Every structure is written in C-alpha cells, then in structure tokens.
Chains A and B, each alone.
Chain A
Amino acid sequence: QVQLVQSGAEVKKPGASVRLSCKASGYTFTDYYIHWVRRAPGQGLEWMGWISTNTGRTVYAQNFQGRFTMSRDTSMSTVYMELSRLVSDDTALYYCARFDRGDAPWGRGTLVTVSP
C-alpha cells in the first residue's frame, strides 16, 4: 500500500542540526511532490516546504529559509530534510506528506526534541 515511513525520534542540543528521512513505497516515487509540515506543542500545523521528487526543485517557507534543506535520493525513494541551528522552539512533530488528489498519505511523524 501507499505509505511514507519516517525515521525515528531525535534529541538534539540547541545549535545542533537534525536530519530526518521519509521513505516512500507503494507508488512511483517521482510522480509526486513531498511536503514537510511540523506541529509544535500547543501550536498548529506549520508548512515548511516542498520538494519535487522528480527534479529536486525545492520551495521553502519564509520562516525557514537559510536553515532548512530538503533533498531526495530517487534510488532509495527517500526524501531528507535537515534543520540547522536548532532552538527550543523547534521541538515538534515533523511530518512528511503528499498533498494530492490520490492517496494523499502522511508519515506518522518524527518527534524532534531540542533540549540543553
């Protein structure tokens, strides 16, 4: 079945970077963009950006430009995101997702905790 499987929880110190993965299966990887979304405690959903899995083109939300990078490995059907210069406000559940007319799956989320 169509699914997005995300990497496991991370604990990082302020100032560090974190790299998360999102592995797609059950469909042609390069047919759909992948978006990254996060939800911090007590906050709503926040869109971070999307990547074209076909061309590698990326679009980032203004709030994250400069410290957020997305990439993909088509041979592994996997998308990666890296967030640098972490602060406590980056503590959140990070989701990868497809927003489309079809199966529109979401990953189950990766918890990132930023703590001294």
Chain B
Amino acid sequence: QAVVTQEPSLTVSPGGTVTLTCGSNTGAVTSGHYPYWFQQRPGQVPRTLIYDTSNKHSWTPARFSGSLLGGKAALTLAGAQPEDEAEYFCFLSISGVRVFGGGTKLTVL
C-alpha cells in the first residue's frame, strides 16, 4: 500500500518563505499523480489550495504555489501571514486510488 510522506511540522516567520514537500514510497512524484494540496485550519473544513500540481483555485492566495521538486510535490508559501497557520495535506492519485499524506502542521512565528 502506498505511503505518502510529509514533514510533520514546520515553522516560518511572518513574511518568510517555506516549502512543504510530499513524497511517495512508490517512487518519484510526477504530474501523473495529480498532486493536490489542502489547508485545514483548526475547527474548520478543509479547502483545496492547489490541484494538478500547480493550479490554483480562485480563493487560493497568490502567495501559495505548487510545483514538483526533486521527485516530490511541493507547496511553497512566500510571504507567510498569521492566517496561514494551519495543517496542510497533500493528496496523490496512485494506481487508481487516492492517498493523503500525514499532514504538515505549519506554525507562523
């Protein structure tokens, strides 16, 4: 069974830049895994930030971007704001099923 790995926690300073990554034990993550990134703030419903590696929804702040980096999917936040403190989950399509990563708890401090 596929396992998707993320950093358990990261800290970024207000205004700073941080990159979250998403790897798979099945090999390099590619665009064919259709990476998604979700944000979930405490007590709130998750929302999609990025779909299909790098595409943004209309509500996705411009400071978020998605890419592929070194065999992983990546979510970069440039210019962190206090409201970006949340958990971030990546989501891959692997052999016809979908798998979430364990999530990264991002602290803005």
Chain A residues in the interface with B (C-beta under 8 A): 35, 37, 44-47, 50, 59, 61-63, 95, 97, 99-101, 104, 106-109
Contacts and interface: CB of A to CB of B under 8 A. Distances in A.
Interface string B98-109: 111111000000
Contacts of B45: 95, 106-109
Interface centre among A45, A50, A97, A108 (most CB of B within 10 A): A45
Nearest to A35: B98
A37 B52 CA distance: 19
B57 A104 contact: yes
B97 A45 contact: no
Nearest to B104: A44
B46 A45 contact: yes
Contacts of B36: 99
B30 interface: no
Nearest to B102: A44
A99 B38 CA distance: 10
Contacts of B97: 47, 59, 61-62
B91 interface: yes
Interface residues of B, number: 23
A45 B103 CA distance: 8
Given A106-B45, A106-B46, A99 B51 contact: yes
Contacts of A95: 45-46
Contacts of B89: 44-45
B55 A47 contact: no
Interface string B34-74: 00101010000111100110010100000000000000000
Contacts of B32: none
